[in-house]
Structures are given as C-alpha cells and as structure tokens.
Amino acid sequence: MSLKILQSGLLSTIQDNGRFGFQKYGVIKSGAMDPYAHRLANILAGNPEDEATLEMTLLGPSIEFTEDHIIALTGGNLSPKVNGQPIPLWRPVFVRAGAKLEFGAPVSGCRTYMAVSGGYELEPELGSRSTYLKAGIGGVNGRALKENDDLKIRKSDLLDKAAIKNSEAKAIAASWYMKPDYTVINKTVRYIEGREYDWFTEDSRSGFNTEEFTLTSQSDRMGYRIEGPVLALKEKRELLSEAVGFGTIQVPAGGQPIILMADHQTTGGYPKMGQVITVDLPHLAQLKPGEKIKFEKTTVEEAQKLFVQRKKEIDFIRSMVKDKIDKGVL
C-alpha cells in the first residue's frame, strides 16, 4: 500500500495537528497551516483527526498510486486531476492502482490537503508527524517530499466497504460532498488586541483597522510579511522576548507587520499589534502572495465563542460523514 512521488511540487510536507508540550524547549508546534482543511480531509477519508495529511503548496506534486486508495482533498483548489480528469475537493474519492494524481493552476487558495484512508505510515517524532524542516524531524525524514519518495499507507477498512467494484474508472468521486463553512473569498481577518497595541500611534492603529494589506512574496510557513500603511510606535521601546503564537501580528522596526504562521519560532521580541483569531487562520493559510487582506478587531470572548462553535460544526460534520461511510456510500 503506497504512493510514489513522481514530482515533489513547490513544497509538499506531511503535517498533523502539531507538536505539543515541547515549546518550552524551543521546539515549535508546526502542524497544518490550514488546520480546518486538514481536519476535514481526515474526516472525509474516515481517519482520526490527528492523522497526518499531505500539505501541498501552490504547485502540487505528481503522485502515482501503486495500490487502490481512497483519498480526500480539501483546502485550496489547485486543480487536482487523476489521469487528466479533474476530481473534486471536499469528498472521498476512490483512486485505482496505477492512476496518477496531478495538479494544475491554483484556482482558489494556496494549500491543498490530502488525507489517504488508513493514514500515512510514519512514526511520530516528539509526539507528532508534522514536518519541522529546520530541526529535521517529523514527516518523511524531517524534510519536504522529493522525487522517488515512497509513502507507505496503512490498510483501510473503508476500501472494503466502498461500493466501487462495478467500474473500471481510474477515479470515482463520492456523489455527496461537504460544503466548507469557511470561504477563501472572505479576506477580512479578525484579531484581538496584542499586548503592545497601545504602544502604536493612533494613526497606525486606525490605519491597521481600516486599510488594506498585501501579502508579499516573502511569506512562508514561518511567517507572512504584509505590506500596507506603516505602523509606528509612539516612542521607541525595548521589549523582552516572550512567547508568540500562530497568528501573532508582530511589527519590526520598519513598521511592516509579520504575521506568524504554523512554523513560527516559540518566542519573539517585536511589539505585537494583535493576534488573529483561531477560526480565521484558515483564511490566512489560503492567501496567495499579491492578495489583499483587511483586519477587523474583535474580543477574546467572541473569538472563544466562535472557536467552540467551529468545534461543534466539525463534530456535526464528522457524525454525518461517518454515517455515509459506514453505509459504504462513496
């Protein structure tokens, strides 16, 4: 049971929900940039939510299936095709042995997640399968996928259940699908005030809250550099390094913010304008360089309410999908 990587794509890495408990040792959390798409890919493939998925960026890889598999693709639409035929996202898809999965132009979003029913057979390192490139741990030997990699897949019960025996097609998509509740068209990102919010001039704060910012090409899994009105401090002040998080908006001396993303360092010493709320991180993850975003302030309480609500939605989706899968409805 395996997948063969024919071409690596721009940056294809194994990710899961992240590495917990080691930040005090300077070991970053990592994990999927779009945790929502990552979770749903697993749910649609009948996997536990902490199973690893393959995160693919802008230019997807080319993958040969050496056995029959059921996969689910979620997140950004990078024009997935099996043997030249487009296949849909947000639903389970049966892919036959010998078929080739490729990607084309990015239609919307920036990152696609692929879960394979049964899960990637990889040993966790420090409690997680997430690839941490800098330290060389997790995923496939701590690195991005490359040509000729062989990804072993665990056996899946789903494959036996799925009613696909009467067809010769290389890929069969489920007739049902889930409609993601987040949309990559929404480019307003909500945030809560950072610890140093009041250090910024009134003009800077007002600019931050009303004007557009553009994602620059200097953006990766560690952080997004965004360009917009210059954000200045009322007076120069020194700050001791302290913990930062996925979504922390920090502002170096130049006045152009950096939003810390999944591979951010555990600590940082720049003033923090804000913290993007967790339910809006997927919007950021799917943003492409050159695209614009705006920021809207909210409260911790509101962010927490939305977080719990999102969790309930995911639970609901899981129970619906499980029902379908148990009946063998592919």
Residues of span 82-101 touching other proteins by CB under 8 A? none
Q: Which positions from 9 through 38 interact with other proteins, judged by CB under 8 A? A: 20-28
Residues found in the chain = 330
Strand order in the sheet with 2-7: 85-86, 80-82, 100-103, 62-65, 2-7, 150-152
Q: Which of 109/247 has CB closer to other proteins?
A: 247
- Rounded Cα distance between 12 and 146, Å, is 8
Q: How far is the CB of 273 from other proteins (least distance, A)?
A: 13
Instruction: Name which of 168 and 301 has its Cβ closer to other proteins.
Output: 301
Smallest separation (angstroms) from other proteins to the CB of 194 = 8
Judged by beta carbon, residue 269 or residue 328, the one nearer other proteins is 269
> Least distance (Å) from other proteins to the CB of residue 174?
29
Q: How far apart are CA 72 and CA 55, in angstroms?
A: 12
Q: 102 or 263, CB closer to other proteins? A: 263
Site for other proteins in 127-186 (CB under 8 A): 134-135, 137
99-107, 205-213, 219-227, 261-269 -> range binding other proteins (CB under 8 A): 261-269
Q: Is 313 in the site for other proteins (CB under 8 A)?
A: no
3-state secondary structure of 234: coil
- Residue of 303, 317, 321, 330 interacting with other proteins (CB under 8 A): 303
- Does 126 help bind other proteins (rule: CB under 8 A)? yes
Which amino acid makes up residue 242?
E
- Through-space distance between the first and last CA atoms of the chain, rounded to whole angstroms: 20
β-strand partners of 114? 54, 73
d(CA 330, CA 1): 20
In the complex, least distance from residue 230 CB atom to other proteins, rounded to whole angstroms: 24
The CA distance from 151 to 71, in Å, is 14
| Of the candidates 281, 85, 110, 253, the residue with the CA atom closest to the CA atom of residue 171 | 85
CB of 1 or CB of 40, closer to other proteins: 40
- Pick the closer one to other proteins by CB: 14 or 93: 14
- Phi then psi for residue 205, to 5 deg, are -65, -40
Q: At what angle do helices 35-44 and 300-326 cross, to 10 degrees?
A: 20
| Selected binder of other proteins within 52, 95, 101, 192 (CB under 8 A) | 192
Determine the Cα–Cα distance for residues 283 and 119; give it in Å rounded to an integer.
26
The CB-of-76 to other proteins minimum distance in angstroms stands at 24
The answer to whether residue 307 forms part of the interface with other proteins (CB under 8 A) is: yes
Exposed, middle or buried: residue 73 (CB in 10 Å: 0-12, 13-18, 19+)? buried
The yes or no reply on residue 298 touching other proteins (CB under 8 A) is no
Residues binding other proteins: number (CB under 8 A): 37
Minimum distance from residue 64 beta carbon to other proteins (Å): 31
**Residues in the site for other proteins, rule: CB under 8 A?**
20-28, 125-126, 134-135, 137, 192, 194-195, 240-243, 245, 247, 265-267, 275, 277-278, 300-301, 303-305, 307-308, 311
